[in-house]
Structure formats: C-alpha cells, structure tokens
Chain A
C-alpha cells in the first residue's frame, strides 16, 4: 500500500468515527461538554497543525547557524569571478 493510500485510509477511518460520534449515530449519550469539544475537533486539529508548522519554521529561522566569515568570503569570490569573466568577454 502506498503512503497516499495509507493516509487516505487513516483520514477516512478517523473522519467516519468523528462523523458517527458527532451525529449521534451510535446512540451514545455523551455528556454535553464532550459533545461541545467533539464537533469543532477537525478544525482544531488543522489549526494546531498550522500553528506547529509556523512555530517550527520560525524557530529554525531564528536558530539557523550563520557563518558570516564564509558568507563574506563567498561574496568577494563572486565579485572576483565576475571581474575575471568580464575581462574574458562574458558579460552578465
């Protein structure tokens, strides 16, 4: 089974479980607070996944290991290469 089919199966199972519970198809009398938490659950999981993604991206941006010396060296090498190529007739 491919990863896609695995994900779709998982989503279908969880989705049908959620739908069955939310619409009371199983005849279970859940207490009121539990029902109130249950029906926005897909939206909640999507928003939490989005927040997690945003936070992880932000954290990785903030803690990225900059190498300032290597960056400066690279920029000067680029300028050198450009001058060299311009001398040989190749213009950007």
Chain B
C-alpha cells in the first residue's frame, strides 16, 4: 500500500469525487421527482446552474491549460535563444 501523503491525497480525491457525484446526481436526477414544496429544494441552486457551473468550470480549466502551455513554450523558446 502507498504511504503517508500519497494515501491522504488519494483517498481525499476519492472522497471529493464521491461528494461531487452524489450532490450533482441528487440535483439533476432526483430533484425533479420530489414535490416542489419539499424542504430539500432549499439546499440546491436553480436548475440552470446545474449546466452553467460545469460549463464555466470546464472553460476555466481549458484557459489554465492554454496558459500553462503558452508559458512552457515561451520559456523553452527563451532558453534556446539564450543558448544560440
């Protein structure tokens, strides 16, 4: 078995993914079948956000990946220019 921080990080990721999955499943799949007067609807945002938040997060992720690639490419070009 892995040790120390590896285990903590690994199981932490598992826990995070399970939490996100159960919350999102309840939001998208279960809530439409629950009576709109039930108290559970208080814990969930309006339904449109169920698509907007993942979309915005995905675009942000793409932005960070693009910025990282640009940064690495610029750095490598500067290193080759200095070596010439």
Which residues of A line the B interface, CB within 8 A? 32-34, 36-37, 40-41, 43-44, 46-48, 51-52, 54-55, 57-66, 68
Option from A44, A52, A55, A58 in Cβ contact (under 8 Å) with B24: A44
Task: Decide if B46 is an interface residue (CB 8 Å cutoff).
Answer: no
Given A36-B47, A37-B29: A54 in contact with B6 (beta carbons within 8 A)? no
The reply to whether A44 and B28 form a contact with Cβ atoms under 8 Å apart is yes
Annotate B1-32 by CB proximity to A: 1 below 8 A, 0 otherwise.
11100110111111011101100110011001
Bin the interface of chain B by size: 20 to 34
The CA-CA distance from A34 to B32 in the complex, in Å, is 8
The reply to whether B54 and A46 form a contact with Cβ atoms under 8 Å apart is yes
Given A44-B24, A47-B54: A64 in contact with B6 (beta carbons within 8 A)? yes
The reply to whether A32 and B10 form a contact with Cβ atoms under 8 Å apart is no
Q: Is the interface of A mostly helix, strand, loop or mixed?
A: helix
Q: Which interface residue of B10, B12, B47 has the most chain A CB atoms within 10 A?
A: B10
Task: Decide if B60 is an interface residue (CB 8 Å cutoff).
Answer: no
- Among residues of A, the one whose C-beta sits closest to the C-beta of B11 is A62
The CA-CA distance from A65 to B10 in the complex, in Å, is 13
